[in-house]
């Protein structure tokens, strides 16, 4: 065997062993649920302190919100990249590879960096005992500092106030919108959830809130006033006039408050993107005023967000004839918009491959699922995955008909077998379900 392939194999094995160590040793919310959620920033600060506080070495933008964080993060990243800025992107969770969480442009963090980071800091990790998320944040900030990024777009994992990412001093804070999700950890009212998200607002730093809501406006206004932070609501400044959206491209015309109107074209399509675009445009305007980007937004900046940033998993069309659509909406607001949008499209039959995590409040989201679809129930391949037979029983109560399958891939293949070329196959319910289907299309050799 040639030496280079041996070393490549060894590096791959080292990376896999590193991931096994991270997943096994550190509690990971996505896999095991709320018990992995740590309610303070002590560990993150301790890790960063020992690493030389790398998060002080680059400018950053901080994004919280129930839905739309990832889209707004990637729209902003595309804007910076299109303007020649070296841009770090920190998002979570990942779909198929841990490295998706930490990117510079559309380049994932190298597996060799992940391996060497863990190896070099093993003693520190053993001493601090961070959660999986806390360590990932520290690794991301170290990598961005090492790469000398001009800006890092940082998405919160969960909440805001106590989220591990909330150690940065950003140039701009963004809260996309507030909806029902993770109530067991963030509070059981929109006001309480908003209070957690408002925790990312910093003294004197401008904040953009995506949309207004009677339950949450006062929380944001009061926090911003206390901290002397200029606050704007994107929905006050941009009104949608017209939108054209096919499966792979969207054109939206907005009217500004001064009466002028302009059109944005982007490859980010799907139900949430009109709201996300308004949030992005307001953030983009402020970044222009701050001198971090050229003053005038040009339509070219967000035309090819997926290419520029590697954005995936949200309203993503994987193939046509039949159309295979993946969307990782998993809470009430996200799923409501998803099915609203699906209902606008016409096709003879809708096939839905669906799975959830065990702690999902199904009573709340089940009424959103259409009765006139054919269902393929599956358990995602993670400890938190809900049993497919259990899911079938739940859906049966709502008279949604379908079969349970032993795996996501089996359910998906059955859906493809039954679908006519003019049908729609929708994969949804959980990031993990989408994450198992994506590699079939994005990495055909796997």
> DSSP readout, 248-298?
S-EEEEEEETTS-EEEEEES--STTHHHHHHHHHHHHHHHHHTTSS-SS--
How far is Cα 100 from Cα 110, in angstroms, rounded to an integer?
A: 10
**348 & 431 share domain:** yes
**76 & 206 share domain:** yes
pLDDT at 273 over 70: yes
DSSP per position, 386-416: PPHHHHHHHHHHTT--EEE-SSHHHHHHHHH
Phi, psi of 186 (to 5 degrees): -105, -10
pLDDT (0 to 100) of residue 28: 52
Q: Give 418-440 pLDDT, tens digit per residue.
A: 999 999 999 999 889 999 999 99
Q: How confident is the model at residue 443 (pLDDT cuts 50, 70, 90)?
A: low
Phi, psi of 331 (to 5 degrees): -115, 175
- Between 153 and 9, name the one with better pLDDT: 153
Tell which of 284, 309, 334 closes a domain. 309
Phi, psi of 93 (to 5 degrees): -80, -170
**114 & 186 share domain:** yes
Q: What is the mean pLDDT of residues 42-51?
A: 95
Work out the mean pLDDT of the chain and round it to a whole number.
89
Q: How confident is the model at residue 408 (pLDDT cuts 50, 70, 90)?
A: very high
Q: Which residue range forms the structural domain that includes residue 171?
A: 3-309
Residue 51: how many CB atoms within 10 A of its CB? 18
How far is Cα 275 from Cα 291, in angstroms, rounded to an integer?
A: 25
* Structure-token pair, residue 280: 């992005």
Q: How confident is the model at residue 24 (pLDDT cuts 50, 70, 90)?
A: confident
**201 & 78 share domain:** yes
Q: What CATH number is associated with residue 403?
A: 3.90.190.20
How far is Cα 319 from Cα 324, in angstroms, rounded to an integer?
A: 5
Q: How confident is the model at residue 352 (pLDDT cuts 50, 70, 90)?
A: very high
pLDDT at 185 over 60: no
**32 & 88 share domain:** yes
How far is Cα 393 from Cα 402, in angstroms, rounded to an integer?
A: 10
Q: Give 86-126 pLDDT, tens digit per residue.
A: 999 999 888 989 999 999 999 999 999 999 999 999 999 99
Tell which of 309, 333, 350 closes a domain. 309
**331 & 351 share domain:** yes
Tell which of 250, 277, 309 closes a domain. 309
How far is Cα 143 from Cα 177, in angstroms, rounded to an integer?
A: 29
Name the domain count of the chain. 2
**45 & 74 share domain:** yes
**330 & 301 share domain:** no
Element containing residue 244 per DSSP (H, E):
strand 238-245
* Structure-token pair, residue 225: 């006033």
**219 & 125 share domain:** yes
* Structure-token pair, residue 392: 């079938």
pLDDT (0 to 100) of residue 196: 85
- Say if CB 254 and CB 278 are below 8 A apart: yes
How far is Cα 378 from Cα 32, in angstroms, rounded to an integer?
A: 18
How far is Cα 5 from Cα 8, in angstroms, rounded to an integer?
A: 5
DSSP per position, 156-183: -SSSSTT-TTTT---SEEEE----S--H
Q: What is the mean pLDDT of residues 51-73?
A: 94
**322 & 358 share domain:** yes
**110 & 241 share domain:** yes
Q: Quickly tell me which residue has 């003879």 as its tokens.
A: 348
377 bridge partner residues: 354, 404
pLDDT at 4 over 50: no
**Dihedral (C-alpha) 330, 333, 339, 342: value to the nearest 10 degrees?**
-100
Element containing residue 316 per DSSP (H, E):
strand 316-319
**299 & 323 share domain:** no
Q: What CATH number is associated with residue 169?
A: 3.40.1190.10
- Per DSSP bridges, beta strands 350-354 and 207-209 are unpaired
pLDDT at 289 over 70: yes
């Amino acid at each position: 065997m040639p030496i280079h392939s041996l070393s490549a194999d060894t590096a791959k094995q080292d990376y896999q062993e590193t991931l096994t160590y991270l997943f096994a040793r550190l509690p990971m919310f996505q896999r095991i649920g709320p018990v992995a959620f740590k309610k303070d920033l002590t560990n993150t600060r301790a890790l960063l302190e020992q690493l030389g506080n790398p998060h002080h070495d680059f400018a950053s933008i901080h994004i919280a919100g129930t839905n739309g964080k990832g889209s707004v993060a990637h729209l902003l990243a595309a804007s910076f990249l299109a303007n020649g800025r070296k841009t770090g992107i920190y998002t979570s969770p990942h779909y198929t590879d841990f490295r998706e969480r930490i990117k510079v442009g559309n380049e994932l963090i190298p597996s060799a960096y992940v391996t060497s980071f863990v190896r070099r800091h093993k003693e520190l990790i053993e001493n601090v005992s961070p959660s999986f998320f806390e360590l990932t944040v520290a690794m991301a900030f170290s990598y961005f500092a090492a790469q000398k990024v001009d800006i890092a777009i940082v998405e919160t994992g969960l909440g805001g106030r106590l989220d591990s990412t909330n150690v940065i001093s950003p140039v701009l804070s963004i809260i996309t919108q507030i909806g029902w999700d993770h109530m067991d950890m963030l509070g059981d009212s929109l006001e309480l959830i908003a209070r957690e998200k408002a925790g990312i607002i910093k003294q004197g730093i401008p904040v953009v809130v995506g949309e207004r809501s009677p339950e949450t406006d006062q929380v944001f206004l009061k926090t911003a006033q206390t901290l002397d932070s200029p606050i704007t609501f994107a929905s006050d400044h941009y009104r949608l006039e017209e939108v054209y959206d096919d499966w792979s491209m969207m054109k939206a015309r907005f009217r500004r408050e001064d009466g002028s109107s302009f059109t944005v074209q982007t490859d980010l399509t799907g139900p949430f993107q009109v709201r996300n675009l308004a949030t992005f445009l307001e953030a983009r305007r402020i970044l222009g005023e701050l001198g971090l980007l050229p003053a005038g937004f040009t339509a070219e900046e967000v035309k090819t967000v997926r290419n520029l940033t590697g954005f995936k998993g949200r309203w993503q069309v994987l193939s046509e004839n039949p159309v295979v659509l993946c969307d990782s909406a998993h809470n009430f607001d996200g799923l409501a918009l998803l099915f609203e949008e699906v209902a606008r499209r016409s096709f003879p039959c809708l096939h839905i491959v669906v799975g959830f995590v065990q702690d999902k409040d199904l009573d709340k989201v089940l009424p959103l699922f259409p009765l006139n679809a054919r269902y393929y129930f599956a358990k995602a391949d993670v400890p938190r995955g809900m049993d497919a037979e259990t899911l079938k029983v739940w859906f049966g109560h709502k008279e949604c008909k379908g079969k349970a399958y032993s795996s996501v891939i089996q359910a998906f293949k059955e859906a493809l077998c039954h679908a006519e070329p003019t049908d729609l196959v929708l994969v949804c319910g959980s990031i993990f379900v989408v994450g198992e289907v994506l590699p079939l299309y994005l990495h055909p050799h796997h």
